[in-house]
Structure 1
Amino acid sequence: MNFTTRIYAIPLIAFVACSVSAHAQMNSTLASEAKEILRRHCAECHSETDTRGGVSIFDHASLIDAGIVVAGKPDDSMMYQLMTSTDDDVMPPSSRPTLSADQIATIRQWISAGADAFPSDAVIDAERQPSDDVLESPSDASDLSVLETILDHVRETPPSDRAFLRFISLRHLVDGGITPERLSVHRVAVAKAINHLSRQSDIVVPTVVDKISGGTILAIDLRQLGWHRAVLHDTEDETRSLNSFDLALLEYPYAVLPLDSEIFDQIEAEFLNIAKQVRPIAYVRGDWFCSVALGPDLYHDWLQLPRTITELETSLDVDVQSNVASGIAKRAGLTISGVSRNNRVVERHPYRDGDYWKSYDFQSNIGDENILRDPVNFRASGGEMIFRLPNGLQAYFVCDAHGNRLDAAPTSIVVDKFASDKVVRNGLGCIRCHSRGIKEFRDSVYDIVLALPGNPGFDRRRAIELYPENDHWPAVVAGDCAKFQAALDALGDDGSPREQVSTVSSVFLESALTVDQAAAELGADSNTLKASCLAPGFARLGLAPLSSGGVIRRDAWEDNFDAAVSILGLGVPVVPFDGNLRSEYVSSESLDAITLGTNKPNNFFEPGDKLSVNVVNDSDRDVFIEVVGVSVDGQRVRLTEGVEKLAARSTFRFPKSADAAIEVRGGIGREQIVLFASNGVFAAGRIYRGKNTADRVTHSFYDSPEHGKRRRSQTPTVIKKTITIETR
């Protein structure tokens, strides 16, 4: 080998090594993703303990030997054939949720790439298990291990900093079975989620406080994210306030107070009482946080997004009209868009933190909604706004034709391919779509306008000024995306084509739960849960399918989680009846006779109608009620005088006099009436209010010991009912 050859040999070897490494990493990722899909959809019937048809889905060698998987040949593989079958042989069977097109494509890719063996699952270090002297029951093992780890970290933190600690856990995923690679996806998703909700200038990476497969318990400091600031204040006591994380705690449905737990008592004394959280919750789950905190209503409140596009642009100091008139803003017209069903106009404005993009979307492509008819003046049906956060990520705002903020965009205009119902929900839906920042596009207006002869019927010169040539946009989009990518790099994003938040939220929101996964979320033994599901109490909850290899949907599970905790004796569930996302809650059948309504059966009112609210007690015993009205912008007002007694067989009316019924004004929109009722006296809720954040009402059922010994013996006997009043 001569000298010249030596110079080029080393880079060549390095290149080959890197290529082999990248190929191996891709195959490993495919094997991990395939295992998670099979775990969700197949393991309940084809596992080591239940080998129906003689198939154990994770026994890779037997899958190959039996021809169920033919490496490199998906069309010859029985697994793929059954997944794509159109007759009764289809797997999973028709009684279970089917695989999505993306999931089937992943299985095909895995087989085509050689069907690498499945990676081992993440395991909990035996040394990190709680000791026997503090373990109350086998089902407590996982949660107590998490609490012990949190307590250790709290004690390593200076007392002055403990008030700002918060914890996010992924431990239940290990209990339910997950590969280390997939666990890493969840960690990155959590990091992305918290930074998408921060207006601070720096990217914040959560601190890993345990060593299980790279970490399952993450700690954050509220100050680093700007979440320590009060966003709402008690309307009657300014010294009481709620921060952003408190808003999440009010919605969190999976918290359980352990019964007579020494570890929890220590966490309460050394952390929770110092943190002064609105609820005594030591940690929240990461998959829930990514899926719910990034969606309405929490996303809007967390970033304190105003109610109108005018207010948003004022807060960002973006003068759209001036920028358009002066030529600072530039437009592109798209006749074909990745998410929009019709044509679309995008408009870019510079602003203090980088870039502000405004889209104009349309219900159709005809009349004054046809952008080629007049690209200067058109009538949009709504739009999506994207603005740069100080940390480099993006924030989102969706509005209607009048500029009013929307929770979700109409599917007649745009769709979310990651959601089963295709609805683009502001926050999560936008984040999943813009996983790499601003999406590339090609303008359709400039060349057409330039080629039009004579008078086209609009200001041609103005259109050419507004819509630059297509070679203007690649560098602009690349520059904006570079800021976004720099933030992703700081978060540890590996550039995977399957974006982490999308992956985590899609599984959490769209996938059904098996008995193993439900047991992991409860911190219970799966065999115990399976047997319990046939008991009368569980049968009434609709959880019986878990006893026989069936599955349940996320919303049904979440609605009954607190009841399952109580029936199994796992502790006292912290019910989110004070959350804005949970509109109904019934803790006792004895309160079923309490009804909430208005003087119109359908609660639909025309301008000039008279409105009154009625609470009817058809039971034979007195109850105590609190009624709260909720305006369109989320402001809450109490309609009862605190908590009032409602006698048996009687009715509460607001206003109390029929002559004082409220005259309805037109164009108000949707408002709500919320009822809280209990067999016993309870303290009236505290109303918290702030700027650009919907009000919250909180009750003292779970107050910390500084307000008296917490009742851990039972869930509060209370119901919550909500009706929506719509005014044309």
Structure 2
Amino acid sequence: MKLFLHSLALLMVLSAWGDETQVLKLLDQKCADCHSDGDEEPALHGGINLTQLKGAEDEVKSILDRVQRADTVKGRMPKSKGQPGDAAYLPPLTAEEVTLLKTWSAGGPTAAKTETSAPVMEASPSAAAAAPVRRFIPMAEEVRIIAADVVKLPESTQPFVRYLTLTNLANLRDALGQPVEDAKQMETYRAAISKLLNSLSHEGQIHVPSAIDEGKTIYRFDLRDYGWTPKEWEQHVVAGYPYALRGLDARREQEIQDATHSAAAWVRADWFTFAASQPPLYNQLLHLPDNDRDLEKQLGVDVVGNLTHKRAIRAGFRESGVSQGNRMIERHELGRYPGAYWKSYDFSPLDLHGQHDLFRSPLGPVGAGLTPNQDREFAHDGGEIIWNLRNGLQAYYLSTAKGTKLDRAPTEIVQDRKRRDGAIINGISCMACHESGMKYTLDKPLEEFKDEVGPVALKAGLDRAEQRMVEDLYVPQAKLHEVVKQDEERFKKALATATPGYDQPLDPVERLYKRFKADIKLETLAAEFGEEDLSFIARLKDTRDTDLESIATQLETGLGFPRAGFMDQFRAVVSALSYQQLDFTPIAYTELTSGASKAGGNIGQVSLSEGGKLTLSTDKAHYVKGDLMTVTLRATEGVFVRLYHFSADKKITQIFPNAGQKQNFIPGGKSVTLPGTGDSFRFRMGSPYGTEIILAVASPVQFTDAENLAFAQNEVFKSFPENDLRKAAKRGVKGLTVEVSDMQGKVVGERSAATFTARAVFTVSDH
């Protein structure tokens, strides 16, 4: 689907007429899949890239018509193909949804208003400019605020007190010096802190951390409120914390350490959210065992006993929206405290016959003893577990068929549709999907949620005992709705207590997680070091360190650093800016252990959509005048590539494809060197001298700007006027689409094609 609004300016000035929660939810459910921009944080609303949803002013009417236009047969979204039931069929928006979007895009009310409702007037540009700007908080002041707070606490409490800070996000400024994060986003991040802390808790009560500063950017919490010990904090959090900077105010820093007995009593909330909502930290803080049997012992759940005595309930589906094959869900009561224990049995779509067909073999799993007939025992390929914590929120677990704990689920079995790589990471992926508690089948209301397996299995030749077992376990729709509502209400009540006043439909933890994960930009780096003046970048160049000069140059061009790659370079920046950094042991974040994008140096790498990689490299990291350069590209899957050269004097040239090599397809599994044997062009080094960049942009399909893929007489390369590589990376990618096929290989639709970037950085001198 494509949603088009009048202009980017309209996107940035949302309607002031009431709550836009309905619009956010609609965008998330109907638009986010096609309008996410890889791993970059979109301009607005967390997981939805609204900057791709706008159209020219004279297009608005026709575009909105196109969104609501019905196909000649059944009606469907633009570009959707096939009929209802096909794998990629996208139903059209309802009349109510179209009206909602039209009203919102026109700046009108997004929710019904009574006649007595007073409109909220939108501020004029001059009034907006005069509005108070959020105060910048230097890191030294942050330390003083924390020290003043902790010394006022009882001495018996001080060793258990810790702090999470949002000051780096509150300090983030744009090029005009205005705060990047508006009040609504900051509230989202505050909600994320409380939800995550309580989602990692072993205690029976919800505890909301307390803001200790006027701007609500520093939050205090007590380890005991969540069942953690100071030793766990030091071992799992402090030991891996990469952003502990010292030397800001030595006296206050020592006061904090003396009171708390912690080497790092305060950590950035965005880092903590990223780190603690995924393995290994998620597993460590929740004390998750290595297999589901031990987890069930912890929780007092006897799965086999409950099944045998028919104290569990089940429901099975052909399609769930997450699992690629059959899925069966099963509910048990927790044994040690009130709450539910749900587990799924998932099946690979590559093998849907025999014991892998849930409809034919409904009485597994193998070894449960529900039937002596092995042909009626299903053999699943993996599973997911959701259970209530003591405080009513939920915890999550992924496992193999044998119950072994997984940090990341196999994408051939289950997938997260919102991620480019499709991976489900335990913790964060589950929180984002289950933002409101238990989930029904995808895009369907509770009223349509029902078991599909029982009625079919009862007609599959079961004996009488097997039939009774199916009838007792695969429950009627009314019973299923009853327990789902019960569990949903338990979660929602706990969530409302943990996030008072937060009413947005998107999960706050996911949004803060993605905020941290977003590329490092010049403004981001300034805020992370408490630098209010962007001229600090000159201090990196003054070091004459080639790596730091490279970082500075890339940031100045508008390119961002992937967070994963920048973590390796953070220590050098710390030293250049004269800060002190505590020692730490890097955490093996699950998010970054499989194909994480890297930046910096003359070798660049990026993950591709199918889990493969694209690598770009130059033959040297430093060249002198007259040297010839070669560039090597290697992709694990076939992609179309273009290369841009950014010179030391900030000129951008497309060097591939070029007049000498117009074929820009890189076959999977092969290396391509430019120039190759017999090529008529060369890359020879000359003035101006300094740091230069080659940016590779890859796509699974050919780029759309044909004029830049063809060359006039005597034209070898393409030169462009802008000096912003971000703009270059977007050239020719508007309108890129790829075909969508069902499991039989039939083309049933198309969707937006993702693009990927990698870079190589090198220096050139005259000697």
Deviations 1:291-345 (A, max 9, x none): 2111000011101111111111111111111100000011111111121111111
User: Which amino acid counterpart does residue 291 of structure 2 have in structure 1?
Assistant: T
Q: Secondary structure at the match of 2:359?
A: coil
Q: How far off its partner does 1:25 sit? A: 2.5
Give the match for residue 360 of structure 2: 373
1:25 matched to 2:12: no
1:220-369 aligned within 5 A? 220-228=221-229, 242-244=231-233, 246-258=235-247, 261=248, 263-269=249-255, 271-277=256-262, 280-351=263-334, 352-353=336-337, 354-364=339-349, 365-369=352-356
> Distance in 2 between the 1:282 and 1:108 partners?
49
1:494 matched to 2:492: no
Q: How far off its partner does 1:418 sit? A: 3.6
1:391-402 aligned within 5 A? 391-402=391-402
Q: Is the 8 A contact 2:143 2:252 kept in 1?
A: no
> Distance in 2 between the 1:548 and 1:555 partners?
20
Q: Is the 8 A contact 1:418 1:502 kept in 2?
A: no
> Distance in 1 between the 2:483 and 2:297 partners?
24
Q: Secondary structure at the match of 2:568?
A: helix
> Distance in 2 between the 1:443 and 1:121 partners?
58
| CA gap 1:144/1:125 in 2 versus in 1, 3 angstroms | farther
Deviates more, 1:531-540 or 1:316-325: 531-540
> Distance in 1 between the 2:482 and 2:276 partners?
33
1:401-420 aligned within 5 A? 401-420=401-420
> Distance in 1 between the 2:331 and 2:317 partners?
14
Identity %: 30
User: Which amino acid counterpart does residue 506 of structure 1 have in structure 2?
Assistant: K
> Distance in 2 between the 1:191 and 1:109 partners?
34
Structure 1: runs of 5+ lacking an equivalent: 1-20, 44-56, 59-63, 78-85, 87-104, 130-140, 230-241, 585-728
> Distance in 1 between the 2:330 and 2:57 partners?
50
Q: Is the 8 A contact 1:344 1:359 kept in 2?
A: yes
Aligned length: 480
1:163 matched to 2:170: no
Give the match for residue 196 of structure 1: 199
> Distance in 1 between the 2:354 and 2:107 partners?
50
> Distance in 1 between the 2:478 and 2:64 partners?
47
Q: How far off its partner does 1:503 sit? A: 1.6
> Distance in 1 between the 2:362 and 2:185 partners?
46
| CA gap 1:71/1:527 in 2 versus in 1, 3 angstroms | farther
1:89-108 aligned within 5 A? none
User: Which amino acid counterpart does residue 521 of structure 1 have in structure 2?
Assistant: E
Q: Is the 8 A contact 2:150 2:259 kept in 1?
A: no
> Distance in 1 between the 2:269 and 2:130 partners?
18
> Distance in 1 between the 2:18 and 2:451 partners?
39
Structure 2: runs of 5+ lacking an equivalent: 1-14, 29-35, 45-49, 66-78, 80-97, 110-121, 173-179, 364-376, 441-448, 594-767
1:524 matched to 2:509: no
> Distance in 1 between the 2:582 and 2:237 partners?
13
Q: How far off its partner does 1:560 sit? A: 1.3
> Distance in 2 between the 1:203 and 1:172 partners?
27
Q: Secondary structure at the match of 1:425?
A: coil
Give the match for residue 446 of structure 1: 454
Q: Is the 8 A contact 1:72 1:114 kept in 2?
A: no
Q: Secondary structure at the match of 1:477?
A: helix
> Distance in 1 between the 2:439 and 2:410 partners?
20
> Distance in 2 between the 1:521 and 1:379 partners?
50
1:203-222 aligned within 5 A? 203-212=206-215, 215-222=216-223
| CA gap 1:581/1:434 in 2 versus in 1, 3 angstroms | closer
1:77-88 aligned within 5 A? none
Q: Is the 8 A contact 1:308 1:399 kept in 2?
A: yes
> Distance in 2 between the 1:175 and 1:481 partners?
37
> Distance in 1 between the 2:158 and 2:129 partners?
36
Deviations 1:396-432 (A, max 9, x none): 1111112111111101111123433221111111111
Give the match for residue 234 of structure 1: none
Q: How far off its partner does 1:456 sit? A: 7.5
Q: Secondary structure at the match of 1:398?
A: strand
Q: How far off its partner does 1:125 sit? A: 6.4
Q: Secondary structure at the match of 1:168?
A: strand
Q: How far off its partner does 1:157 sit? A: 1.3
Q: Secondary structure at the match of 1:289?
A: helix
Give the match for residue 516 of structure 2: 508
Deviations 1:343-396 (A, max 9, x none): 111110011331111111111233311101110120011111111100000111
| CA gap 1:108/1:203 in 2 versus in 1, 3 angstroms | farther
| CA gap 1:514/1:250 in 2 versus in 1, 3 angstroms | same
> Distance in 1 between the 2:251 and 2:62 partners?
55
Give the match for residue 83 of structure 1: none
| CA gap 1:250/1:108 in 2 versus in 1, 3 angstroms | farther
TM-score, structure 2 normalization: 0.57
Q: Secondary structure at the match of 1:551?
A: coil
> Distance in 2 between the 1:291 and 1:521 partners?
15
Q: Is the 8 A contact 1:519 1:526 kept in 2?
A: yes
Q: Is the 8 A contact 2:245 2:580 kept in 1?
A: yes
> Distance in 2 between the 1:408 and 1:208 partners?
34
1:171-190 aligned within 5 A? 171-176=167-172, 177-190=180-193
Q: How far off its partner does 1:555 sit? A: 0.9
Q: How far off its partner does 1:22 sit? A: 9.9
Q: Secondary structure at the match of 1:190?
A: helix
Deviations 1:137-159 (A, max 9, x none): xxxx6101211211221132122
| CA gap 1:486/1:380 in 2 versus in 1, 3 angstroms | same
> Distance in 1 between the 2:186 and 2:342 partners?
34
> Distance in 1 between the 2:567 and 2:310 partners?
51
Deviations 1:454-476 (A, max 9, x none): 55799222212211112211111
| CA gap 1:371/1:481 in 2 versus in 1, 3 angstroms | same
Q: Secondary structure at the match of 1:424?
A: coil
Give the match for residue 489 of structure 2: 482
| CA gap 1:503/1:470 in 2 versus in 1, 3 angstroms | same
Q: How far off its partner does 1:556 sit? A: 1.6
Q: Is the 8 A contact 2:438 2:488 kept in 1?
A: yes
Q: Is the 8 A contact 2:347 2:381 kept in 1?
A: yes
Greater fraction of residues in helix: 1
User: Which amino acid counterpart does residue 439 of structure 2 have in structure 1?
Assistant: K
> Distance in 2 between the 1:110 and 1:70 partners?
18
| CA gap 1:167/1:72 in 2 versus in 1, 3 angstroms | farther
Give the match for residue 570 of structure 2: 561
Q: How far off its partner does 1:579 sit? A: 4.4
User: Which amino acid counterpart does residue 358 of structure 1 have in structure 2?
Assistant: K
| CA gap 1:249/1:71 in 2 versus in 1, 3 angstroms | farther
Q: Is the 8 A contact 2:312 2:331 kept in 1?
A: yes
Q: How far off its partner does 1:507 sit? A: 2.8
Q: Is the 8 A contact 1:532 1:538 kept in 2?
A: no
What's the RMSD between the two structures over aligned residues?
A: 3.9
Q: Secondary structure at the match of 1:345?
A: strand
| CA gap 1:74/1:411 in 2 versus in 1, 3 angstroms | farther
Q: Is the 8 A contact 1:418 1:432 kept in 2?
A: no
Q: Secondary structure at the match of 2:20?
A: helix
